Amino acid sequence: MEQELYPNNEGLTFRQMALEDIPDVMVIEHEAFTLPWTEEAFRNELTQNHFARYMIMQYLGQPVGYAGMWTVIDEAHVTNIAVLQAYRGRKWGERLLRELMKTASQLGMLRMTLEVRVSNDVAQNLYRKMGFKPAGLRKGYYSDNHEDAMIMWADLPERGSAYGSEEGSEAY
C-alpha cells in the first residue's frame, strides 16, 4: 500500500540545512526526541562546528525531516536523524539515512557510526537494514532515564559507488 500511495517518492528532495531552517527543525526535534537539542545547539553546529554536516528532507518544498553527522578524518558520526510523525511509515527515514550515507561517502568517509537507544527497535531495524552492526554499549548514555545506547557501525561504499544517484538530491 505504501508503494501505491507514494510512488517514486515524488516531491521528496534533499538539501543542505541553513540557519533559516532551524525553526522547522525544532518542530521535528521536539516531536521526535525526549531530549531535544536547543536552537542554540543547531546554530552552533551550522556556524561553529567545521566537522558538522546537516541536511533537510523536504516534501513538496516543506521540511519533513533532517539528519546530521560529524565527519572526522574518514569516519562519520550520525548526530541525529528524524522525520515528522505525520510522514513516518513511508520509508522516508530510510531515504534520509541513505542520503546521509551517500553524502558521507562523497566526502570521503569510509565508515559511519551512531548510538541508538537499546529500546528503539524500529530505529535498530532500519540501521541493520542499512548495513549497521552492533559494536557495544554505552551504559547510562541517555540522561533522561539513564538508558543504555547501542553503538552501531557500518562500512560506507567508496566514493561514487553504491547508493546510486537518487533524484532530488544535492551535493554538499
Look at residues 164, 161, 139, 159 and name the one whose alpha carbon lies nearest to residue 149. 139
Helix (H/G/I), strand (E/B), else coil: 117: strand
First to last CA, the chain: 33
What residue spans of the chain are helical by DSSP H? 2-5, 22-32, 39-47, 92-106, 121-129
Spell 129-165 as b/e; 16+ CB within 10 A means b: ebebeeeeeeeebbeeeebebbbbbbebeeeeeebee
Computed over its alpha carbons, how large is the radius of gyration of the chain?
15
Residues with active-site annotation: 115, 127
**Where do we find the cell 559511519?**
112
